[in-house]
């Protein structure tokens, strides 16, 4: 049985006879169950049973409940869900190529794929292809209710089989898909019959295409595709090729221009230097290549220098349409080549790691409207000109911005907010959700004292079997974070622990460390700041830049095993931090799943007595 396929349109069909479903980026498949067999079959009629054993296993678990409905065929999409509207196609493809049985089994347990079901084709052996989509969907809904499976998508749910609902409100669904970077929407006619193996106009797909500008680098004579690229610094990065969307007249004219201005020509290829800018639409980037690119228009008013890797990445950011990026080529540092587009691209690329530390906290930012070429100022209040999607919370007559999403983070970045300072508690509690020690040496020349303090603290933490997380302050010192559960410990209770650790360090190494608050009385000793951990105080958020004239350095999370080899913060630039995330991952990855309050309560109880 081959699936019914939707037809690609650019305009959404509207009217009371149309309904809308989320289109997921996955492997289309039909699950068929009889009394003797279970088969998951791809659109090319290949078995997916061995590749996705978790789906087959789930079907087996349900087989007893499904007996009255067998033989049964359901249509859906094999996905690797990361949100309610987004499936990670890149990771799904990697998973789909696994051949080793043990590797497949391990992946199916650690990161199970879901089979998202949107149609019912056969029930109790009855072919439903002549029934309307509305009736098939109704019967499918009843089937899920009988099985007591929730009838909505839940990426965190335990159910491997999930029901795909439809809506009559296209606008709201489209907004959610854009913000979650979903693939698109499928519009389905309520009266549509099942047309297996055909591309029907009763099912319409509208894809969530992105747009960006590129320069042409050449023309492949063999396949008729135009190669395009962008600049990454001084390098040209090839990002793909297009052929669709361009008219025959435009194609002929473009080939003529390429031949007139070529750098070289062979029997297969015409090469040209960056000069011609085109706007393309594309679905996403996969392995740094455009997926489904097609021509929109020539952009003769654009300079090739505007076609950059950072702007390409930003064009893929799932943000509110009201968000616009201004002056992307604005230089921000005199000592480093960091333009605004690079800074914003950095925020986008670290957003998944950074936003959890900003979420539901009263945010204080330091803005640098002219980069390092002008004065800076603190901002707490949400300005009147902020767009509607910027959320806020009033606290002590200050209307603080709450940064819970990418749109807000990039809007703040566009306002050139470099530093992001957060309190130790969220807006719904007066208890801390983390403990942070600030190890503050007198200057960068004494950074080794911060390393020594961290190492000595780690010895104590290890004795207590306490899990802790170090990070650079982004300035001259180190900070040690300890996660705790919400409402588990008061500030008074945590002070018992923080003062104990601080006093231990100072007593053990009085010539190196101090808790003296007055700078003039510290000498060349490191200040162990435990007083800062209090209600109303703030700390620099992980992955925030610091506004220092000498360079764009970052409050970067670290692994404990890196501490001994640290020299200075100056290694932790935008490029280096992004490379770390892409290679060794985020050192704070497990932070919010490893609260230490049970261990801390035991320690504090012992210290109190």
pLDDT in tens, 235-279: 999 999 999 999 999 999 999 999 999 999 999 999 999 999 999
For 53-66, b/e burial (b = at least 16 CB within 10 A) is bbbbebbeebeeeb
Domain with CATH 2.40.50.140 in the chain: 210-315
The one catalytic residue in 23, 122, 137, 476 is 23
What are the CA-CA distances from residue 355 to residues 2, 118, 409, 522, 550 (Å)? 43, 33, 8, 35, 26
User: Residues near 567 by Cβ (< 8 Å), separated by ≥ 6?
Assistant: 447
Q: State residue 608's pLDDT score.
A: 77
Q: State residue 567's pLDDT score.
A: 76
* CATH architecture, range 210-315: Beta Barrel (2.40)
Fold of the 434-608 domain: DNA primase, PRIM domain (3.90.920)
CB 279 within 8 Å of CB 296: yes
Report which of 208, 155, 213 is spatially closest to residue 181, judged by C-alpha positions: 208
Top-tier CATH class for 5-203: alpha beta
Q: What are phi and psi of 315, to 5 degrees?
A: -70, -20
Q: State residue 607's pLDDT score.
A: 87
User: Which ranges of the chain have pLDDT less than 50?
Assistant: none
Q: State residue 151's pLDDT score.
A: 95
pLDDT digits (tens, 9 = 90+) for 439-456: 999 999 999 999 999 999
In the residue annotation, 23 being an active-site residue is answered as: yes
DSSP annotation of 192: P
From CA 199, how far away is CA 127, in angstroms rounded?
20
Q: Looking at the DSSP assignment, which residues form a beta bridge with residue 527?
A: 440, 514
Q: Looking at the DSSP assignment, which residues form a beta bridge with residue 419?
A: 366
CB 3 within 8 Å of CB 28: yes
pTM for the model stands at 0.90
Domain with CATH 3.90.920.10 in the chain: 434-608
The number of residues making up the chain comes to 609
* The pair of three-digit structure tokens given for residue 109, joined into one six-digit string: 């347990």
For residue 143, what is the enclosing H or E element?
helix 133-146
Q: State residue 76's pLDDT score.
A: 97
């Amino acid at each position: 049985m081959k699936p019914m396929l939707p037809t690609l349109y650019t305009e959404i069909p509207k009217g009371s006879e149309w309904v809308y479903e989320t289109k997921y980026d996955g492997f289309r498949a039909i699950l068929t169950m009889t009394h003797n067999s279970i088969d998951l079959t791809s659109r090319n009629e290949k078995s997916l049973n061995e590749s996705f054993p978790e789906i087959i296993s789930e079907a087996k678990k349900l087989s007893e409940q499904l007996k009255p409905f067998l033989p049964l065929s359901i249509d859906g999409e094999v996905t690797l869900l990361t949100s309610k509207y987004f499936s990670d196609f890149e990771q799904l493809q990697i998973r789909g190529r696994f051949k080793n049985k043990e590797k497949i089994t391990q992946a199916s347990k650690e990161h199970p794929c879901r089979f998202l079901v949107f149609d019912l084709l056969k029930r109790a052996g009855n072919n439903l292809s002549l029934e309307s989509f509305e009736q098939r969907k109704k019967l499918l809904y009843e089937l899920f209710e009988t099985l007591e499976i929730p009838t909505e998508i839940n990426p965190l749910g335990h159910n491997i089989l999930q029901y795909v609902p439809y809506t009559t409100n296209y606008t709201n669904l489209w907004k959610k898909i854009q913000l979650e970077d979903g693939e698109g929407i499928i519009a389905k006619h309520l009266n549509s019959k099942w047309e297996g193996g055909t591309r029907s106009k009763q099912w319409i797909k509208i894809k969530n295409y992105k747009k960006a500008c590129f320069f042409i680098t050449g023309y492949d004579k063999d396949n008729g595709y135009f190669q395009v690229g962008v600049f990454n610094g001084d390098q040209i990065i090839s990002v793909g090729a297009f052929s669709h969307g361009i008219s025959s007249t435009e194609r002929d004219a473009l080939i003529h221009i390429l031949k007139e201005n070529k750098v070289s020509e062979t029997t297969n290829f015409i090469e040209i230097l960056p000069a011609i800018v085109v706007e393309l639409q594309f679905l996403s980037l996969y392995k740094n290549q455009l997926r489904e690119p097609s021509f929109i228009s020539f952009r003769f008013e654009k300079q090739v220098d505007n076609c950059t890797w950072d702007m390409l990445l930003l064009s893929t950011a799932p943000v509110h349409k009201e968000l616009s990026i201004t002056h992307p080529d604005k230089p921000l540092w005199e000592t480093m080549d960091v333009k605004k587009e690079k800074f914003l691209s950095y925020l986008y690329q670290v957003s998944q790691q950074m936003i959890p530390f900003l979420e539901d906290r009263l945010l204080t930012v330091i803005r640098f409207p002219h980069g390092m070429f002008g004065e800076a100022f603190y901002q707490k209040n949400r300005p009147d000109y902020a767009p509607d999607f910027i959320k806020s919370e009033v606290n002590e007559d200050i209307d603080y911005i709450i940064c819970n999403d990418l749109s807000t983070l990039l809007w703040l970045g566009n306002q050139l907010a470099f530093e992001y300072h957060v309190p130790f508690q969220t807006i719904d509690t007066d208890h801390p959700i983390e403990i942070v020690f600030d190890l503050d040496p007198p200057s960068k020349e004494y950074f080794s004292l911060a390393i020594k303090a961290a190492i000595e603290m780690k010895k104590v933490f290890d004795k207590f079997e306490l899990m802790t997380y170090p990070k650079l302050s982004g300035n001259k010192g180190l900070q040690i974070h300890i996660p705790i559960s919400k409402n588990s410990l008061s500030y008074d209770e945590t002070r018992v622990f923080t003062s104990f650790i601080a006093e231990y360090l100072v007593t053990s190494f009085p010539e190196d460390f101090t808790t003296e608050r007055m700078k003039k009385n510290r000498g060349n000793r490191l200040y162990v700041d435990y007083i800062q951990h209090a209600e109303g105080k703030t700390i620099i958020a992980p992955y925030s830049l610091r506004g220092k004239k000498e360079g764009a350095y970052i409050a970067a999370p670290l692994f404990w095993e890196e501490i001994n080899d640290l020299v200075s913060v100056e290694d932790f630039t935008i490029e280096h931090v992004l490379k770390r995330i892409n290679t060794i991952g985020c050192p704070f990855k497990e932070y919010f799943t490893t609260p230490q309050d049970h261990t801390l309560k035991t320690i504090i109880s012992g210290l109190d007595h």
